[in-house]
Amino acid sequence: MKYLITGVAGFIGYHLANNLSKKNLVYGIDNLNGYYSKKIKIERLKELKKNKNFKFSKINLSNWKKLKNFLKNKKFDAIIHLAAQPGVQYSLKNRRSYFDNNIKAQFNLLEIIAKFDATKKFIYGSSSSVYGEKSNKNETFNIEKQESFYATSKKMCEVMTKNYSNLYKFKSTALRFFTVYGPYGRPDMSPLIFLKSIYNNKKINLYNNGSSLRSYTYIDDVVNFIIKSINNNLFLRDKKNYHKIYNVGNNKNLSTINFVKLIERNLNKTSKIIKLKNRKADIKNTKANIDLAIKELKIKPKISAKLGVKKMCDWFISSSSNFK
């Protein structure tokens, strides 16, 4: 099988490529932008390039000409689109980046799939942020508004992709990721921020006084969700529907302060916590309703928060200075 993964130097992209390239040919593209440290992305790529089944190209998806030249003569069994501009707080002041790297980038990919028949399966990352404060809702819930431009960009990508899929008859799947954590994690996300701060004896800011709930989902479970989505034969046999949405997360959520306590236990340290009010656009409570995934994909998370945090801490302790 031959796959294309965009955002391959990112957290989820790296782990997915690492898994798929063991038995398949994987092409990975990434623009290696500086939203967070390039050192971490280079470290991930270094690991991936050890596998002869992995091929990397540096490409910005908003560059139509370069992307078209790369894709127009290639056919993939699936394209997994994970490249995006993340971050709720960053989107409050940097909306242009979300238009270019989320909306425009996905538009370019969809145009190429439509023009050159590059794949019949398009799986892409969306976000639990589209729900706002409407926690534990299923995929058919009517979402009236988003709390940030990041969430808006993700919802717009879902609407756009559904339209393309119906028009050009290719299968597409939106995966609404809930809080993902684990080895090689994103340094701008709370799990690694907490871990680094506790390890280095620095203060931790806990917004909403540490009471916010998150569906912390270990990266291996997320990768398994994606692979199940790629091989979703029930959906492939459906002659009427061309676009699916699945929530991808742990259906057991945890408060941020209890997540911090799990890290403390594994590092045998006590953190210096500063409790603060909630920030603008931050969601207080999320919980993944994965009933549809359990029913159709026959999958549910296997890694508990206790085990997942231990795995993350073990990796961090033994990792390079690029992460510390």
pLDDT value, residue 239: 87
Q: 2-6 and 78-81 as β-strands: parallel, antiparallel, unpaired?
A: parallel
Domain total of the chain: 1
Report if pTM > 0.75.
Answer: yes
State the residue for tokens 């994690």. 185
Any idea what the CATH number is for the domain that residue 100 is in? 3.40.50.720
Q: Do the domain assignments include residue 128?
A: yes
Q: Do the domain assignments include residue 232?
A: yes
Q: Rounded CA gap, 284 and 266, in Å? A: 26
Q: Rounded CA gap, 203 and 201, in Å? A: 7
Q: Which residues of 263-285 are buried (b: 16+ CB within 10 A; e: fewer)?
A: bbebbeeebebeeeeeeebebeb
Q: Do the domain assignments include residue 46?
A: yes
Q: Rounded CA gap, 218 and 224, in Å? A: 10
Q: HSE of 104 in the Cβ direction (CA atoms, 13 Å)?
A: 14
Q: Do the domain assignments include residue 30?
A: yes
Inter-CA distances, 224 with 78, 89, 220, 310, Å: 15, 29, 6, 20
Name the active-site residue from 27, 124, 150, 242. Answer: 150
pLDDT band at 322 (very low <50, low <70, confident <90, very high): low
Taking the CA atoms of residue 11, residue 14, residue 18 and residue 21 in that order, the dihedral angle to the nearest 10 degrees is 150
pLDDT tens column, 190-249: 999 999 999 999 999 998 988 999 999 999 999 999 999 999 988 988 989 999 999 999
Q: Do the domain assignments include residue 322?
A: no
Q: Do the domain assignments include residue 210?
A: no
Residue 15 has pLDDT above 80, yes or no: yes
Cβ(299)–Cβ(225) under 8 Å? yes
Centroid of chain to Cα 159: 18
- Give the three-state DSSP class for 139: coil
Q: Do the domain assignments include residue 264?
A: no
pLDDT value, residue 93: 84
Q: Rounded CA gap, 231 and 108, in Å? A: 24
Q: Which domain holds residue 39?
A: 2-186+217-249+287-302
Interval 153-159 mean pLDDT: 96
Q: Do the domain assignments include residue 238?
A: yes
Question: What burial class does residue 22 get, using C-beta atoms within 10 Å of its C-beta: 0-12 exposed, 13-18 middle, 19+ buried?
Answer: exposed
150 is catalytic: yes
